[in-house]
Structure 1
Amino acid sequence: MARGAWRSAGLTRSAQPTSPGSSSRRSATNRAYQMVKSDGSGRIVLQVHTLDNRRLENFLERHKAYYAYTGEIDIDRFLREILQKANEFVPSEAGSILLDDPITKNSDDRMENDLVFIATYGARAEARLNKRMHARVGIVGHVYATGVGYMTDDVLQDPYFYPTPDLPDDFQTRSVVCVPIRIEAAVCGVLELVNKTGPGGFREKDRRLLEIFADYASISIQNLLDARRAFEVAKRDGLTGLYNERYLHLRLTQELSRISRDGGDLCVIFLDLDNLKSVNDRHGHLAGSQVLREVGYLLRRTVTDERATLTRYGGDEFVLILPGHDMQEGMEVAQSIRNAIRASTFLSRPYGFNDPALNLHGVLTASLGVSSIRSHATPGASVEQQKNEILRSADAALYRAKQLGKDRCIGAREEDTHFPAAMLS
């Protein structure tokens, strides 16, 4: 999760009560502040209200619903907005969300872990992204280790304070409030705000309000991760781990929409395993299923382009989407797959329950058909029509490869766009 692609919210804020004495007349969870936003062309003063608890809950529940029912999940955007809302909740000059690194995490001793800045705002916000700090260090480390929120309005007198070297020399940390972030009841990070804006420093009520917010944020982050896992499972084939037919059509539509807007080319490869039926008939369907798993692994190992989408359509049929590939490049990829399957020894290890290794070499081959947008789709046609044409063309080329004796790669012809393919959605 921790990576350099996180971006800060991009707001430089200065918050003050809107009128003298207004802070005493307003609820602690519903105050009006002046927010200054710099957009490069001038300074615009915006009237901003911090969230009361009901509005805060509605905000997070909307996120829960949004991420549960949409397609790709933008965690970057989610955490930026979480931090932005925390600043509205308790206005501050700077803030960060830090999470422990799941790859190096020591669950037995949290003090040995590193915390990574994954979302920031304020002074040198972008420079702090992806920076690491040890969990033994500072107020942040203390909150992470104890799982208890902490606040100080005079860091120079605080025994836990440790200055952050990534802040500019002229930035003076005066006050800090930190609260833990939990996933499934375990502390996984810290939400930190620095230098409350307005008169005075952080107060106990600010810490309590931020803890309420952090609890909601923790639940929402968990819901977000659950939704992402559920979405990932829903678009995967359970046997091979490749994408499934539903995601094939979704992804192809997205890529064709992008090409219609930005230009470029794209190849589709249809692949059908030759002789898998003979493996099923002789060794059983468990052996055949294991062969399909191994073919899925072989495809991931052979096709290394990160833009490629590898799918299992069903049975022993696979479909690949290759953005940025023309016909010649698509044929080269298809040939490399064919060669890899011919050279492989399948079921070289025991599989299932007490099933011995079969070491199937030279038994399985593949027939492949290739088409491309520029060669086989009507220019200017709708995305749906182009999708149908490119799928029909690759399917027809695969059909010819089978008719010509299998174990070969065939490029589609112009007339193949009228092939009565069964792959259309």
Structure 2
Amino acid sequence: MNDMRRSLLNNINQLNMTNNELDKRVYELSLLNVLNQELNYLKDYKQVFRIILKHLTAACQSERASVMIIENDELIVVEANRESEFVQIRPPARLMLENSAAGTALKKEKTVVVRNAEKSNLFKRHENNSYVKNILCIPFNVRENIKGVFNIVNRKRAWNKDNAQIAQLIINQGLIAIDNARLYELAITDGLTGLYIHRYFQVRLSEEIAKSKRFEKKVSLAMIDIDHFKKFNDTFGHQTGDQVLKIVSNIVRENIRAEIDIAARYGGEEFAIIMPDTDSVGSVVTADRLRKAMEEYDFKVEGKKVAITISIGVSTYPDHAKKPVDLILAADNALYV
């Protein structure tokens, strides 16, 4: 009788374990299904990062999460969230690879768990992260092109094996979308300047004009030309000229609205900026800010300061034109006024 009872209890325990395993598997499949639906058709890998972070904080019941990518032996925080709300990081926070939990995870290519950050040699305290109590760092690598670490902070209960497994599951699924988004970005980005290519600019300008027409809003366009660039190239050489193109591109990026305005290399030394929901007054403010930033830039060739100036022409839909080609022409003509 006792043997039968023990056998029955053993069968019940095994059945419970099987049921728990099935529940866990159903949860994982359900999570992956939702994740795939949200990741489908995303073309910006930073948006993919945001989706991953949202699911990491929810699945691991953590307060915060962030993603860092490696650049010049530093880890740069590119996206972060706090209880499902995304935190704007500008300029990006930077962390040295040495003596950090994230750096250790990346170098050893394995997950690092810090359960008591205050006493850990792997966690370096900064004035902005005194809230950190425990952290899970999971490294990732996308075709050797994007390397980094996902950090999940302050789980409400102690970390366990399931947390790391479910986090890894989410990240692995997200990496496929990151790879696809990165490949798309490479196809539409100018290799030298990092700005969008001419073809993508034309597509987006048509889209923004159509959107402005539908919602009865305005969209402005700025055309930028580097003054006397041919003479500059002839005098200092094409390599120095390429440096100037990169500098102008960086100044453009730093002085427009991130994830709203669209900056492109129009061709040669010409650049273009599409400014959605911006009237002619707003476009002139942006143009003046760009001119001033360019004039103040301390560019030197062989130790001697060389002035770099730009000309900017702006036009606004529907004030100056109603078709993309006419809006470009209006801005281009304004360059020489």
TM-score (norm 1): 0.48
**Cα separation, 2, equivalents of 1:233 and 1:278:** 31
Q: Which range is displaced more, 292-301 or 271-280?
A: 292-301
CA distance in 2, matches of 1:51, 1:335: 57
8 Å contact from structure 2 (residues 252, 290) kept in 1? yes
CA contact 1:299–1:337 (8 Å) conserved in 2: yes
Task: Go from structure 1 to structure 2 and tell me whether the alpha carbon gap of 1:81 and 1:293 turns closer, same or farther (over 3 Å shift).
Answer: closer
Q: Is the 8 A contact 2:48 2:174 kept in 1?
A: no
Shift of 1:316: 0.7
Alignment partners' CA distance in 1, 2:324 and 2:289: 21
Q: Is the 8 A contact 1:181 1:218 kept in 2?
A: no
- Size of the aligned set, in residue pairs, is 270
Hey, what does 2:144 align to over in structure 1? none
Aligned counterpart for 2:115 among listed residues 135, 142, 146: 142
Out of 214, 219, 224, the residue aligned to residue 172 of structure 2 is 219
1:297 — aligned with what?
250
Match of 1:80 in 2: 54
SS of the counterpart of 1:51?
helix
Alignment match of 1:394 (pick from 322, 325, 328): 328
- For the pair 1:369 / 2:325, whether they are aligned, the reply is no
For the residues of structure 2 that align with 1:372 and 1:212, how far apart are their CA atoms? 52
Q: CA deviation at 1:51?
A: 1.5
Shift of 1:191: 8.2
Match of 1:66 among 40, 46, 54: 40
Deviations 1:321-354 (A, max 9, x none): 122332344345445545665x4677x334xxxx
| RMSD, aligned CA | 4.8
**CA offsets 1:108-159 (integer angstroms, 9 cap, x no match):** xxxxxxxx97446xxxxx8xx99xxxx9xxxx85288699xxxxxxxxxxxx
Residues 184 and 63 of structure 1: CA distance in aligned 2, closer, same or farther (over 3 Å)? farther
Gaps of 5+ in 2: 1-12, 74-79, 89-100, 102-112, 123-130, 142-148
- Equivalent residue for 1:96, pick from 62, 69, 81: 62
Distance in 2 (alpha carbons) for counterparts of 1:288 and 1:276 = 8
Structure-2 residue corresponding to 1:4: none
Q: Does 1:349 align with 2:322?
A: no
The answer to which structure, 1 or 2, has the higher relative contact order (CA under 8 A, 6+ apart) is 2
Aligned-partner Cα distance in 1 for 2:200–2:136: 37
Q: Is 2:180 aligned against 1:188?
A: no
Residue of structure 1 in register with 2:305 after alignment = 359
1:96–1:192 CA contact under 8 A, matched in 2: yes
- The one-letter code sitting in structure 2 at the alignment partner of 1:314 is G
Secondary structure (helix, strand or coil) at the match of 1:319 reads: strand
Q: CA 1:393/1:58 → structure 2, altered by over 3 Å: closer, same or farther? A: closer
**Residue 30 of structure 1 corresponds to which residue in structure 2?**
22
For the residue of structure 1 that corresponds to 2:19, the secondary structure is coil
Distance 1:357 1:377, change over 3 A: same
Partner of 2:278: 325
Amino acid at match of 1:189: I
- Structure 1 residue corresponding to 2:26, chosen from 14, 38, 51: 51
Indicate yes or no: 2:266 matched with 1:309.
Answer: no
Q: Secondary structure of the equivalent of 2:319?
A: helix
Aligned match of 1:279: 232
Give the drift of 1:393. 3.0
| Cα distance change on mapping 1:27 and 1:289 into 2, 3 Å | same
Q: What is the SS of the residue equivalent to 2:209?
A: helix
Contact 1:64 1:224 in 2 (8 A): no
Residue type of the partner of 2:245?
L
Alignment of 1:226-305 (within 5 A): 233-300=186-253, 303-305=255-257
User: What is the distance in 1 between the residues matched to 2:181 and 2:18?
Assistant: 39
Shift of residue 222, structure 1, vs aligned partner? 4.9
Contact 2:189 2:197 in 1 (8 A): yes
Distance 1:376-1:81 versus aligned 2 partners, 3 A rule: same
TM-score (norm 2): 0.58
Whole-Å separation in 2 of the counterparts to 1:409 and 1:335? 15
The change in CA–CA distance for 1:308 and 1:98 in structure 2 (over 3 A counts) is closer
Is the helix fraction higher in 1 or 2? 2
Verify the 8 A CA contact 1:270 1:395 in the aligned structure 2: no
Contact residue 98 and residue 189 of structure 1 kept, 8 A? yes
Distance 1:339 1:25 in 2: 68
Provide closer, same or farther for how the CA distance between residues 317 and 26 of structure 1 changes in structure 2, counting only shifts above 3 A. Answer: same
Structure showing greater Rg: 1
| Distance verdict in 2 for CA 1:80–1:117, change over 3 Å | closer
Contact 2:66 2:150 in 1 (8 A): no
User: SS at the partner of 2:318?
Assistant: helix
Alpha-carbon distance in 2 for matches of 1:64, 1:142: 31
